[in-house]
């Protein structure tokens, strides 16, 4: 059995927090470049140009892409043949988040209690651990901005509802976000499972490269259909008009109950920040 | 492109039109949710607010930590709508402009018109780029709020888009 020390995990999580925040994902950057060349509106091009330039300055000057360095959401795929030694895994991940946010001069955007609030701190995040086969650990950190997180929506549809209704709900959620959550967006959608699992899928969908599909031809069709409609809304970059309201729609599905159809929408701003390492 | 300086005068504001791009130079104050709450509490209780408000511009921004050798950490705009409930109080107390991202409420548009003020957008999600226009940063008040403290920052040719002008014209309407 392979052993991995918790200290190693702390280090990796810290590095990933910094990497995610400083270097824009290549798939997102490419999509932004393509959108820039597609846009006709002067204002939309000007804003997309600024977003692309921002990524360059962030990389060169080692500055966070956005002042909201997000809430760290850590996804861990833990091979079941790995033994973690030297301490508790959750504690190690949390230590990694705090270390990364401090070391990377990121923002102390977390409060210890949602109602008591208190002084903002660097520590705290959300951890999802999944057991998989094998002897590796895949660690992904998503630095999720909260301007767009605030636009999240969940709806439990009737099982007789179809794609038309579901798509309408996704589009309404984006319209409701409007210019406030930094469009162009990447729209994560979770279909099926339970309420909380649909939500999880919607978030996980944001991790998938925006140029790839899940492999289900049916889902891929839904994604491109929805994206096409979104880009006809004329919301555009910063909500000031244009063809680029969303860069992608990523849909994840899961078996669900005969009685329902959970639909979760988790929007990401153009600053979609995640980084992955496999140990 | 028009250049403006802060503090803003009524004459400067009167010329601005929704949709227009401008470059701002001068000192502005950062403030977001908790700082707004405190400023408004002071104003409503009739206490002297801890910063000068007359003619000033409030920037809805909570920067990241300042790395060594830099003037400021990444400093882009946050969602303005969260400040809507506080804005009419601060406009009444004398502020002349706000910088943020996104839409404002009907009440805010009406208050901007009433007090002859202006609401600007700046490039949203471009916080690293915007550091390039900041020449100086000093912490003024509410240091215990961390990134939500009020910082006085001096900017040069900071890029803005007029979103709601003194006539109440709204770029999002
Ligand atoms: S929504 Fe995204 S890009 Fe906009 S301020 Fe928040 S984290 Fe930054």
Pick A179's closest partner by Cβ from B61, B76, B103. B103
> Least CA distance to B163: which residue of chain A?
A240
Specify the pLDDT at position A54: 98
- Residue A92 CA to residue B74 CA, distance in Å, equals 28
Contact A180 B79 (CB under 8 A): yes
Pick A57's closest partner by Cβ from B63, B103, B129. B129
Phi and psi for B109 in degrees, rounded to 5?
-60, -45
Specify the pLDDT at position B139: 81
pLDDT band at B140 (very low <50, low <70, confident <90, very high): confident
> How confident is the model over B114-136, as a mean pLDDT?
98
Ligand 1 contact via A263 beta carbon (within 6 Å) = no
Ligand 1 contact via A66 beta carbon (within 6 Å) = yes
Specify the pLDDT at position A214: 75
Q: Which of A182, A186, A246, A267 gets mutated to test ligand 1 (max ligand atoms within 8 A of its CB)?
A: A182
> How confident is the model over B117-127, as a mean pLDDT?
98
Tell whether the model's pLDDT for residue B35 goes beyond 80.
Answer: yes
Specify the pLDDT at position A150: 96
Specify the pLDDT at position B17: 97
Q: Which two tokens stand for residue A144?
A: 């999720």
Contact B148 A120 (CB under 8 A): yes
Contact A182 B124 (CB under 8 A): yes
Ligand 1 contact via A145 beta carbon (within 6 Å) = yes
Match domain B2-164 to its CATH number in 3.30.2320.80, 1.10.132.20, 3.20.130.10, 3.40.228.10. Answer: 3.20.130.10
Counting one residue from chain A and one from chain B, the pairs whose CB atoms sit within 8 A come to 128
Specify the pLDDT at position A1: 85
pLDDT band at B112 (very low <50, low <70, confident <90, very high): very high
Q: Are B29 and B134 in contact (CB under 8 A)?
A: no
pLDDT digits (tens, 9 = 90+) for B40-74: 999 999 999 999 999 999 999 999 999 999 999 99
Residues 6+ apart with CB under 8 A from A111: A117, A118, A119, A120, A121
One digit per residue, pLDDT tens: chain A, 279 residues?
Answer: 899 999 999 999 999 999 999 999 999 999 999 999 999 999 999 999 999 999 999 999 999 999 999 999 999 999 999 999 999 999 999 999 999 999 999 999 999 999 998 889 899 999 999 999 999 999 999 999 999 999 999 999 999 999 999 999 999 999 999 999 999 999 999 999 999 999 999 999 999 999 887 778 999 999 999 999 999 999 999 999 999 999 999 999 999 999 999 999 999 999 999 999 999
Specify the pLDDT at position B41: 95
- Residue A79 CA to residue A130 CA, distance in Å, equals 9
Question: Model's pTM, two decimal places?
Answer: 0.95
Ligand 1 contact via B126 beta carbon (within 6 Å) = no
Specify the pLDDT at position A73: 98
Specify the pLDDT at position A211: 81
Complex-level ipTM: 0.94
Closest approach of A173 to chain B, Cα-based (Å)? 16
Q: What percent of chain B has pLDDT over 90?
A: 97
Ligand 1 contact via A48 beta carbon (within 6 Å) = no
Pick B73's closest partner by Cβ from A50, A105, A271. A105
């Amino acid at each position: 059995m392979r052993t991995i020390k918790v200290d190693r995990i702390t280090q990796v999580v810290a590095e990933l927090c910094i990497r995610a925040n400083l270097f824009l994902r290549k798939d997102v950057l490419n999509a932004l470049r393509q959108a820039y060349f597609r846009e006709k509106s002067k204002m939309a091009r000007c804003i997309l140009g600024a977003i692309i330039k921002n990524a360059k300055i962030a990389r060169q000057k080692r500055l966070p892409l956005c002042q909201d360095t997000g809430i760290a959401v850590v996804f861990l795929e833990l091979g079941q043949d790995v033994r973690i030694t030297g301490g508790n895994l959750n504690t190690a991940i949390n230590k990694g988040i705090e270390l990364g946010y401090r070391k990377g001069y990121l923002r102390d955007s977390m409060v210890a209690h949602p109602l008591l609030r208190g002084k903002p701190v660097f520590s705290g995040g959300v951890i999802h651990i999944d057991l998989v086969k094998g002897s590796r650990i895949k660690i992904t950190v998503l630095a999720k901005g909260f301007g767009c997180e605030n636009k999240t929506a969940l709806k439990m549809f009737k099982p007789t509802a179809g794609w038309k209704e579901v798509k309408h709900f996704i589009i309404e959620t984006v319209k409701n976000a409007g210019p406030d959550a930094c469009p162009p967006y990447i729209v994560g959608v979770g279909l099926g499972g339970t309420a909380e699992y649909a939500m999880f899928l919607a978030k996980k969908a944001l991790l998938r490269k925006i140029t790839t599909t899940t492999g289900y031809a049916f889902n891929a069709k839904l994604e491109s259909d929805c994206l096409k409609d979104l880009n006809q809304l004329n919301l555009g970059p910063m909500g000031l008009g244009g063809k680029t309201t969303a860069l992608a729609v990523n849909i994840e599905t899961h078996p669900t109950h005969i009685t329902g159809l959970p639909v979760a929408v988790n929007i990401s701003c153009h600053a979609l920040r995640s980084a992955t390492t496999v140990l | 492109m028009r250049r403006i300086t802060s503090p803003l005068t009524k004459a400067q504001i009167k010329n601005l039109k929704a949709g227009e791009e401008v470059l701002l130079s001068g000192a502005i104050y950062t403030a977001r949710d908790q700082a707004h709450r405190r400023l408004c509490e002071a104003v409503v209780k009739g206490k002297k607010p801890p910063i000068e408000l007359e003619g000033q511009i409030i920037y809805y921004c909570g920067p990241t930590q300042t790395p060594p050798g830099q003037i400021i950490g990444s400093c882009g705009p946050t969602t303005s709508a969260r400040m809507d409930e506080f804005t009419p109080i601060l406009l009444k107390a004398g502020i002349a402009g706000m910088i943020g991202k996104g839409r404002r409420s009907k009440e805010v548009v009406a208050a901007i018109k009433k007090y002859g003020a202006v609401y600007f957008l700046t490039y949203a999600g471009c916080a690293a780029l915007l550091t390039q226009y900041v020449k100086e940063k000093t912490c003024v008040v509410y240091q215990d709020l961390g990134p939500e403290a009020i910082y006085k920052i001096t900017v040069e040719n900071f890029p803005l888009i007029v979103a709601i002008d003194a006539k109440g014209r709204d770029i999002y309407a």
